[in-house]
C-alpha cells in the first residue's frame, strides 16, 4: 500500500469532559473487514506533528489504522491548564482514544494497540499493564523512573536548583494559585535551568517547531516536573503478562537512560517481547536523523501489524 492510498481524518472525542483532537490515518482497505488500530501520543510538550505522522503512515501502509492525539492542554486539544503535563491524565487520554477507536465501524475493537516515545514510551508500558484492550505496544526510548532520571541528568548542583524551583512553585500555587513555568530545554543548560538539560534537545525541537510543529511550546508548568518525579513504570512491569512488547532503545542514551530501559525490559513478564538497540543513535537522533526515524517507524509498524 502506498502513502497515496492513506486518508487522514480530523477527529475528536471527550476525555473526562475535555475535547481531545487528533488525526486518524485510515488504510485503504476497500470492502475488507475492520482493521486493527493503534493510538499514538507524544512525550514531553509534544504536539501531534512531532515525528508521529511518519509512524502513523508506516502503520497505515501495513493496513493498521493509526490515531495520533494531542493531549488535553496541548496543541489543538482543549483544556484550560495549557502546557501542564499530568502523566495520569495523559494515560487517561490514551484510554479514551482507545474507546473512540473501539466505536469506529472501520476498526476491529479486539485488535487495538498503543505506541509511545520518550515520556509516552513509559505510558505505553503502563497501558499494557492496566488496559485489557491493549494487545500490543511499541515503546521507544521510554522514561522509566522520573526521579532517578531527573536526579542523574541534572547532577548534584543542578538538582538542588531544580528542587528550589519546585519549592517556589508550591509556595506560589498555595499563595494565590498561580503557576511557575520552566523551559523544556535550553541552549546553555549549564547557565539556564530546564526540565531536560540538553542543548541537542533545544536545537532539535526548535528545528521541528520551525519546520513541522508551530504549536509546540518550549515550556511546561513546574508542577509537571514534580509529577514526573513521582512517575515510575516499575510497579507495572510484572503485570505485563500476555501482551506483545517491542522496545527500541538508543545506544548510550543518557537522556532517558538506556540502562534503566534495559532493566525495565528484562522485568516485563511477557514472553512475547523484543528489545532492539539502535546502534550509533542517541535519544535525539531518533527524531532528527531521517534514516533512523524511518527505521524505527518501519520496525514499529511491522511489530504492531504482526501482533494485532
> What pLDDT shows up at residue 144?
98
**CA pair distance 251, 300, nearest whole angstrom:** 18
Residue with cell 488500530: 37
Q: Which regions of the chain are under pLDDT 50?
A: none
> What pLDDT shows up at residue 5?
80
DSSP string, 234-268: GGGGGG--S-EEEEEEETT-TTTTHHHHHHHHHH-
Backbone angles phi, psi at 11, to 5 degrees: -135, 165
> What pLDDT shows up at residue 3?
63
Residue with cell 507524544: 42
> What pLDDT shows up at residue 28?
75
CB under 8 Å, gap of 24 or more: what pairs does 289-297 form? Answer: 293/51, 293/54, 294/54, 296/55, 296/140, 296/248, 297/54, 297/55, 297/57, 297/58
Would you call 177 exposed, middle or buried from its count of C-beta atoms within 10 A (0-12, 13-18, 19+)?
A: exposed
Cβ atoms 257, 143 nearer than 8 A: no
Model pLDDT for residues 286-298, shown as the tens digit of each residue: 999 999 999 999 9
- In the chain, the percentage of residues whose pLDDT exceeds 90 is 96
> What pLDDT shows up at residue 30?
60
Please give the CATH number for the structural domain made up of 3-144+232-307. 3.40.50.1820
The model's pTM: 0.96
Model pLDDT for residues 67-105, shown as the tens digit of each residue: 999 999 999 999 999 999 999 999 999 999 999 999 999
Residue with cell 539556564: 192
Cβ atoms 272, 81 nearer than 8 A: no
The helix-helix angle for 119-130 and 87-102 (nearest 10°) equals 60
**CA pair distance 83, 224, nearest whole angstrom:** 9
DSSP tag of 30 = T
Amino acid at each position: 500500500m502506498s502513502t497515496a492510498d492513506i486518508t487522514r481524518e480530523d477527529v475528536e472525542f471527550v476525555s473526562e469532559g475535555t475535547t481531545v483532537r487528533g488525526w486518524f490515518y485510515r488504510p485503504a482497505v476497500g470492502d475488507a473487514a475492520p482493521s486493527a488500530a493503534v493510538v499514538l501520543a507524544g512525550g514531553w510538550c509534544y504536539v501531534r506533528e512531532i515525528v508521529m505522522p511518519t509512524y502513523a503512515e508506516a502503520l497505515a501502509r501495513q493496513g493498521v489504522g493509526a490515531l495520533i492525539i494531542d493531549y488535553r492542554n496541548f496543541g489543538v486539544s482543549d483544556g484550560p491548564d495549557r502546557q501542564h503535563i499530568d502523566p495520569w491524565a495523559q494515560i487517561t487520554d490514551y484510554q479514551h482514544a482507545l474507546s473512540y477507536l473501539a466505536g469506529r465501524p472501520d476498526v476491529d475493537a479486539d485488535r487495538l494497540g498503543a505506541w509511545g516515545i520518550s515520556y509516552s514510551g513509559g505510558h505505553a508500558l503502563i497501558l499494557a499493564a492496566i488496559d485489557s484492550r491493549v494487545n500490543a505496544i511499541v515503546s521507544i526510548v521510554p522514561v522509566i523512573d522520573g526521579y532517578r532520571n531527573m536526579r542523574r541528568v541534572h547532577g548534584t548542583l543542578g538538582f538542588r536548583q531544580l528542587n528550589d524551583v519546585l519549592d517556589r512553585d508550591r509556595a506560589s500555587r498555595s499563595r494565590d494559585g498561580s503557576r511557575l513555568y520552566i523551559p523544556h530545554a535550553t541552549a546553555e543548560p549549564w547557565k539556564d535551568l530546564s526540565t531536560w538539560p540538553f542543548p541537542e534537545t533545544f536545537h532539535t525541537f526548535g528545528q521541528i517547531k520551525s519546520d513541522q510543529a508551530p504549536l509546540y511550546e518550549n515550556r511546561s508548568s513546574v508542577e509537571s516536573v514534580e509529577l514526573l518525579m513521582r512517575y515510575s513504570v516499575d510497579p507495572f512491569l510484572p503485570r505485563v503478562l500476555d501482551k506483545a512488547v517491542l522496545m527500541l532503545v538508543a545506544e548510550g542514551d543518557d537522556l532517558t537512560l538506556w540502562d534503566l530501559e534495559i532493566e525495565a525490559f528484562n522485568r516485563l513478564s511477557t514472553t512475547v517481547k523484543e528489545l532492539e538497540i539502535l546502534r550509533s543513535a542517541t535519544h535525539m537522533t531518533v527524531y532528527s536523523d531521517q534514516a533512523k526515524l524511518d527505521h524505527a517507524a518501519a520496525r514499529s509498524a511491522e511489530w504492531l501489524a504482526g501482533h494485532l
